[in-house]
Structures are given as C-alpha cells and as structure tokens.
Amino acid sequence: MKRATPLLTLAAILMVGVVSTGQAAESGFFSYFSLERKKEVMAINDATYNKECGACHFAYQPGLLPEGSWRKLMDAQALSDHFGENAELDEQTRSHILTLLVANSADKSNRKRSKKIMGSLNGATPLRITEVAYIKNRHEEIPAKLITQPKVKSLSQCNKCHMKADSGSFDDDTVVIPEHGTW
C-alpha cells in the first residue's frame, strides 16, 4: 500500500476540519479553494448591529466598504458627529460592531461584488457607500428624479429599491424603483 505524502495528509486534515464544522471561512485559506465564488455581498444578521445601526438607517452590509472606511466610521469621536447625528455607543457595543464590520469588509471578502468595489477604490477609504466609484457607476443611468423622490430620497437608501438588500443581494433583477417599477 502506498503512503500518503505529508502535504496530502495535511490537506485531508484541513478538509475534515472544515466538513466537521459545517462551514468554511468566507475569506482566507479556504476561500481560494471554494467551488463557488458568490456574486453578492455577504449578508450580516447580527442583533446588535441591526439594533444600533439599523435604528437610524439601512444596516449596510460590511462588504460594501473596505476595513479602513469602517474603522473611520466607527471611531468613537467620529460617532459623536455621524453625518450630523450623535451615534455614540458604549465601548463594548462599538467594539463588537467594529469587529463585525472589519471581519466582513470588502477587502476581506471573496465575494465578486466586494472585489469589484475594492477594484474601483484605487486605495481610497470613502466614508459614504455612495462615494464608491463602482456603486456610482452602477447607478449612473438612473434619472436623478427617481433617486431623489420622497419614497427613495437618495442612493444611501439601498433597501428602497433593492428588494433583497438586507440579504446582501444588489442584483439588477431585484430592483424595483418606487413610482417607476422594475429597472
């Protein structure tokens, strides 16, 4: 009987570990061996994040911005004037949300849309998702009157037109613009 090489043995052990846990990491070592690179950004369903951030605006998926942007946005001092609002959080809550955002940020994701976002940034760390070149380009054909209408207000209101935004899907097939219909 032929003996397995040390490299094959290591690979088998690592794969057993992934199968036994029932999941592989979204990024890192196993992401490069994934059979499917998912198109949409990874959905985050965290009660603290949804409660604290979702209370004032759509709880954006972390894969829409790079780590540097999330770090700037979640800085304790920056939260005291978060786009004109006081969004201060206790340190434990702020740290929890920051850790979640950083771990799932666009630069850590293997998702296709997050990769496209990163490719459009040229090293920039925007504070607004609407400042991301990829996102601006995807919306350039939509007339301003459809974006600024009362039922939408701005591009920052992703979930007003992207019917599956909360699940991380921003696909064109899930877009319904209020007062207009499908796009």
8-state DSSP, 149: S
User: What sign results for the dihedral spanned by CA atoms 167, 58, 44, 36?
Assistant: positive
- The per-residue pLDDT for 35 is 40
H or E element, residue 181: strand 181-182
- Whether 105 is covered by a domain: the verdict is yes
Name the domain count of the chain.
1
The three-state secondary structure class of 176 is strand
- Whether 23 is covered by a domain: the verdict is no
Along the 183 residues of the chain, how does pLDDT read in single tens digits? 556 566 555 555 555 444 333 334 454 554 444 444 588 999 999 999 999 999 999 999 999 999 999 999 999 999 999 999 999 999 999 999 999 999 999 999 999 999 999 999 999 999 999 999 999 999 999 999 999 999 999 999 999 999 999 999 999 999 999 988 666
- Whether 62 is covered by a domain: the verdict is yes
DSSP per position, 134-145? HHHHHHTTS-HH
Contact present, 119 and 134 (Cβ < 8 Å): yes
- Whether 127 is covered by a domain: the verdict is yes
Which of 55, 61, 24 lies closest to 40 in space, CA to CA?
Answer: 61
Which of 1, 159, 129 lies closest to 69 in space, CA to CA?
Answer: 129
- Whether 30 is covered by a domain: the verdict is no
Q: Domain residues for 78?
A: 47-182
- Whether 178 is covered by a domain: the verdict is yes
- Whether 14 is covered by a domain: the verdict is no
